[in-house]
Amino acid sequence: MNGKVRLGEFLQTRRSQLQPGDLGIPGYGERRRVPGLRREELASLAGVSVSYYTRLEQGQSLNASPQVLDAIARALRLEEAERLHLHNLARSSATTGSGRGRRPAPERVTDATGQLLEALAHVPAIVTGRRSDVLAWNRLGHALFGGHLDPGAPDRPAGRPNMARLVFLDAHTRDLYADWPAKARAVVGNLRLVAGLHPDDTALHALVGELSAKSADFASMWADHRVTACSVATYEMRHPLVGPLTVTQQTLSQGQWQGQNIVVATTEADSPARTTLALLAQVTPQHDTAPPGIRAGSGSGSG
């Protein structure tokens, strides 16, 4: 799917999700043939001509100015992450996509990221790549998020766990979240954001295709075109070894929604969840889950 189609689908979907009454547009009791706003209504709210907006949705108008895109974002009531996604889609629709077809090299943990993971030994932490592959995890990160998996799996690029696959296709991970739909929507929203930033990433497109084919839930959420910047979120987890605990998952990003991320799970001080996490640390076997460079003591330098 090229950039023009992705831009048009995003605009059409988000327009259909807006109700005229929510924006103060009188309906006069008429019955609409399609859900949401009409093109002419959105164009009026954005201050652009109907013909221009129509061409934009149909992929026939390129190089829309940042000012026009911001006006459309305001009319669509987009949040900041969604506004940036709209700009990324418009930018990719205006390029030729010359990089398409080249599969990127496997990601590896940088020395600096490995050092940070090592410093977070007392809280669950995992390092994820652009497509949510698990590049590394510490002992508690493995115990909390993937205790049923081989602790050395992130060291093997061809067999690395992928958090999106786990959330949608792995029964253990699905049961781990009391509010699984909230976690699933966050995963899909983040993938949408990354796809807008990296339209030529063939491995990412393959992942989306696989999940769409294997999970009806994913396919439905992907078609919704929601975008989410997953920086901080609180989840009630149901761990099979230690029981329920509430954690705050924070994503420490390198760069703007690209590169490597460290996902850290924290608990409130003096809370039952803090006690439960301490119990998890006690019952978890000692495994060497540090990245190879850190294991070897060569953690100097930067990525």
CA dihedral 190, 153, 218, 204 (to 10 degrees): 60
* 104, 118, 225, 282 from 111: Cα distances, Å: 20, 10, 35, 28
Q: Please tell me the total number of residues recorded for the chain in this structure.
A: 303
pLDDT band, residue 292 (cuts 50/70/90): low
Model confidence pTM above 0.85: no
Is 72 exposed, middle or buried, given 0-12, 13-18 or 19+ CB atoms closer than 10 A?
A: buried
Q: What ranges do the domains of the chain cover?
A: 3-93, 111-295
* 195-230 residue pLDDT tens: 888 888 889 999 999 999 999 999 999 998 888 777
Q: Specify the pLDDT at position 98.
A: 47
pLDDT band, residue 110 (cuts 50/70/90): confident
Domain 111-295 has CATH 3.40.1190.20: no
For the chain, percent of residues with pLDDT exceeding 70: 84
Q: Specify the pLDDT at position 257.
A: 45
pLDDT, average across residues 31-53 = 85
pLDDT band, residue 102 (cuts 50/70/90): low
Tell me which of 288 and 57 has the higher pLDDT.
57
Q: Which CATH superfamily is domain 3-93 in?
A: lambda repressor-like DNA-binding domains (1.10.260.40)
Q: What angle do CA 51, 52, 58 make, to 5 degrees?
A: 90
**Which amino acid, residue 258?**
Q
Tell me which of 38 and 301 has the higher pLDDT.
38
Highest mean pLDDT among 108-117, 156-165, 198-207, 288-297: 156-165
Whether 111-295 and 3-93 are alike in CATH topology: the answer is no
Tell me which of 195 and 237 has the higher pLDDT.
237
The distance from CA 3 to its chain's CA centroid, rounded to whole angstroms, is 19
* 114, 141, 144, 228 from 261: Cα distances, Å: 11, 14, 17, 15
Q: Specify the pLDDT at position 147.
A: 94
